[in-house]
Structure 1
Amino acid sequence: MSTFLTRAALTAIAPAAALLAVAAPASAQPAPPPPPPNCTAADLAGVMAGVTASTSAYLFTHPDVNDFFTGLRGKNRDEMKTEVEGYIAARPDVGDALRAIRQPSVDFRARCG
């Protein structure tokens, strides 16, 4: 075979071989399932914006709770956790309210993973 014919054959075969090399591994693995509906980054941002706005409104309308959480600034995570657990244990109504505010984010994560 002449050099010209060899090059022409390789030029014709190379793209097909490249496509087969890419397509073979892709077809060997199943495609991931599509995400559930309403589980996009935009959906999460919307849910979290609502949770954040509701938390802000709750804290502004409950100055004692706002003061407590503001007072946690500068403490390490372990101190914060201990203090929050104690505060909520002594005020179950606050815990219930904050859990209700957070519920849409909990539901989103349960539904969307």
Structure 2
Amino acid sequence: MRLTPNLLRGAGALTLAAGALLSATVARAEPPAEPPRPPNCSAADLAGIAAGVAAASSAYLFTHPELNEFFTDLHGRPREEVPESTRVYFDAHPTEYAELRGIRQPLVDFRNRCGYSEPDSAGGQQP
């Protein structure tokens, strides 16, 4: 078969068309799907864990009246004072601090396992 100018132009046009089609297909490709969520990472799972932590926290506070009173008295104080007051209280009561962290640990484990960040002070998730 002899290569003529018309045949070469046709082959070139076909190559350009194929390249354009391939480029358009790649450009329209869907972004990669997010990896599947790990098991037991649903909103219902979080609600169940949070309910258990809340119940355990309530029981702990009722059995530790001084701590319960401290947290109750924080209500109404300026927001900027709360972190420092809390730090000072727990520096003086390290056992209570450790026990409350233990009660809260299931929420920390859930967030770590499921890839959620700690809520910010406004109640939303941090980026």
The TM-score bracket by the shorter chain reads: 0.7 to 0.9
Match of 1:74 among 73, 76, 79: 76
Q: Does 1:56 align with 2:24?
A: no
Matches within 5 A, 1:25-64: 27-64=29-66
Query: Which residue type is aligned with residue 74 of structure 2?
Result: L
1:70/1:38 Cα in 2 relative to 1: closer, same or farther (>3 Å)? same
SS of aligned partner of 1:71: helix
Q: 1:83 aligns with which of 85, 95, 112?
A: 85
Question: How many percent of aligned residue pairs carry the same amino acid?
Answer: 56
Please state how far the C-alpha of 1:30 moved relative to its aligned partner: 1.6
The total of aligned residue pairs comes to 90
CA RMSD of aligned residues (A): 1.6
The DSSP-based 3-state class of the residue aligned with 1:28 is coil
Unaligned 5+ segments in structure 1 are 1-23
For 1:73, give the aligned amino acid: H
Deviation per residue, 1:9-58 (Å, 9 max, x gap): xxxxxxxxxxxxxxx98843222111000000000001100110000000
Runs in 1 of length 4+ with deviation above 2 angstroms? 24-28
Aligned residue number for residue 97 of structure 1: 99
TM-score, scaled to structure 1: 0.75
User: 1:21 matched to which residue of 2?
Assistant: none
Between structure 1 and structure 2, the one with the greater Rg is: 2
Provide the TM-score with structure 2 as the length reference: 0.67
